[in-house]
Amino acid sequence: MQRLYDFLRRHPMGVDSFWAVFLFGLSGVPIVLGGYGSGRETALAVPVSLALSTVVALRRRAPEKMLLLAVAVGLVQLAADVRPNIADFALLVITYTVATVGERWASRLALVCSLTAAGLSKLRWPEGGQEHWAQAVFVVIVMTVPFVLAWVLGDSVRTRRAYFSQLEERAARLEREREAQSKVAVAAERARIARELHDVVAHNVSVMVVQADGAAYVMDAAPEQARQALETISSTGRQALAEMRRLLGVLRTGDAPESGEYVPQPDVGQIEDLVEQVRQTGLVVDFRIEGTARPLPSGVELTAYRIVQEALTNTRKHGGPDAGASVRLVYFDDGLGLLVEDDGRGAAHELYEDGGADGAGHGMIGMRERVGMVGGTLDAGPRPGGGFRISALLPLKPGH
C-alpha cells in the first residue's frame, strides 16, 4: 500500500489524467442517453465536457491557464444554453487547485467565480413554475457553499505550506549560523590553547637553559651536580617535546604581545584556591582529593584547572540560586580523574551538545578541545536526580 501511495505521489500528472478520463466518461452518459433537449446542445456538450476534463488533467501543471479555460467554458455554457452536467465538477477542482498553488490574482478570480457561478446558473436556467424568491435564494446559497469551501480549503493549505516552508528555511538558517558560530568558537579556543601551550613550552625551555648554564658552571668542580642538571634537562626536554606534539595541528590566530615577564599558567595545586574563590561568591562547593598527589605534565595540569573553572562557572550560570557543587580529583596510576557535579537545574541540551544552538556553550567546546589536546576523554550531561555532571580522564602520557 505504501508503495502504491509513493508511486501516485511521484506521478501526479498520471493521477490527474486518470480522473479526467473518468470524469469525461461520466459526463458522456447523459449525452449518450439523450439527456439534452436539442441536437445543437448535445453537439456542444461534447467539447464542453472535453475542455472541463482537460482542466482536471492539467490543473497542477498550469493552474492559472486552466482556470481561465474553465471560466471561458462556463461563459460558453451560459451563452450557448448548455446546461451543467457532471463535467462541471472540474470547476470545484480548479478552484481548490488555484487557491492552493496558483498566483494570487488567479486565487481571487476563483473566489469571485465561486461566489457568482451559482447565481448566474440559477438566472440562466430557472426552475419551472412559480418558484418563490426565498426558495431560489436558498438554492443559490446551497450551490455556492461547495465552491466557497473548496476555495477556503485550498487557501488554508497554501497558508500551512507557506508556514512550514518558513519553518524549514528558518531551521536551515539557524543550522548554518550554528555551524558557523561553532567553527568560530573552535578556532578561537584553539588559538587560546596554542598561546597557553606556547607559554608552557617556553617555561620548559627556559628551565633547560638555566640547568644547562648551571651544568657548564659546575662541570669540573661538582660532576655529580652536573649529571643531575643534565638529567633535569633531559626530562624537561622530553616534556617540552610532548607539549609540542599536542600543539601540532592547532591554528594560532594572532600573536600575543611580547612581554619580558613570564606569567605561570594555573595548575592542579591552584584548584583549591579556585574553589575558595567560588565559595566567596556564595556557591557551596565540596572539594576532595583522592589518591597520592604527584607532579603532572604541565598541559594536563592546565587542562584540569580549566575544566574545573568552566564547570563551576556553568553551575553559577545555570544551576540556580540554591545549587551546590562538588569537585573530586582522583590520582590514578596512569592518569588524573576529574568529577564535577551540581544539584541545580542543569543546562539545556544545546549547551552541551555541538556547542550550543544559539551560540552559547562555547565553554563546552573549549573543554572538549582541551581534553582532546592531552588525549583524554570527557563526558558531560544531566545526572540522575537533577543537576549536571562533568567527568574527565586525563592520561599522564599524551595520546599519539
pLDDT of res. 256 = 45
**pLDDT tens digits for 8-62?**
777 888 888 888 898 888 887 777 776 665 667 777 888 888 998 999 999 988 9
**What proportion of the chain, given as a percentage, has pLDDT over 90?**
22
183 versus 5: the higher-pLDDT residue is 183
pTM of the model: 0.49
**pLDDT score at 134:** 79
* Nearest-angstrom CA–CA distance, 90 and 20: 9
Whether 308 has a pLDDT exceeding 70, the answer reads yes
Helices in the chain by DSSP H: which ranges? Answer: 2-10, 12-32, 39-57, 63-80, 89-101, 104-124, 133-218, 223-247, 271-280, 298-318, 349-352, 362-373
Q: pLDDT value at position 156?
A: 93
Q: Label residue 359 by pLDDT band (50, 70, 90).
A: very low
Q: Give SS3 for 337.
A: strand
Between CA 27 and CA 266 the distance in angstroms is: 88
Question: What is the mean pLDDT of the segment spanning 230-247?
Answer: 73
* Domain locations along the chain: 2-125, 174-247, 268-395
The three cell numbers locating residue 106:
488567479
Lowest mean pLDDT among 23-37, 52-66, 77-91, 249-263: 249-263
For residues 372-383, give the mean pLDDT.
88
Of residues 366 and 154, the one with the higher pLDDT is 154
pLDDT band at 212 (very low <50, low <70, confident <90, very high): confident
Alpha-carbon gap, residue 369 to 208, rounded angstroms: 29
Q: pLDDT value at position 394?
A: 92
Strand partners, 395: 335
Confidence band (pLDDT; 50, 70, 90) for 353?
A: low
Fold of the CATH domain 268-395: Heat Shock Protein 90 (3.30.565)
Residue (of 146, 154, 152) closest to 97 by Cα position:
154
Of residues 56 and 125, more confidence is placed in 56
pLDDT value, residue 254: 45
CB environment 144-165: b (16+ within 10 A), e (fewer): beebeebbeebbeebeeeeeee
The values of phi and psi at residue 330, to 5°, are -120, 120
CATH topology of domain 174-247: 1.20.5
For residue 236, is pLDDT > 90?
A: no
Bigger pLDDT: 52 or 240? 52
pLDDT for the residue numbered 393: 94
Please, are residues 166 and 108 in contact by the beta-carbon 8 Å criterion?
A: no
What's the CA gap between 55 and 97, in Å, rounded? 11
> Mind listing the pLDDT tens digit for each residue in 275-291?
888 787 778 899 999 99
Identify which of 161, 134, 25, 31 has the alpha carbon closest to the alpha carbon of residue 83: 31
CA angle 292, 391, 369 (to 5 degrees): 105
Minimum mean pLDDT range among 21-25, 64-68, 326-330:
21-25
| Mean of the per-residue pLDDT values of the chain | 80
Phi and psi at residue 25, to the nearest 5°: -65, -45
Provide the residue type at 284 as one letter.
V
pLDDT of residue 133: 76
pLDDT at residue 259 is higher than 50: no
Which is higher by pLDDT, 319 or 8? Answer: 319
Task: Choose between 292 and 6: higher pLDDT.
Answer: 292
Contacts of 136 (CB under 8 A, 6+ apart): 122, 126, 127
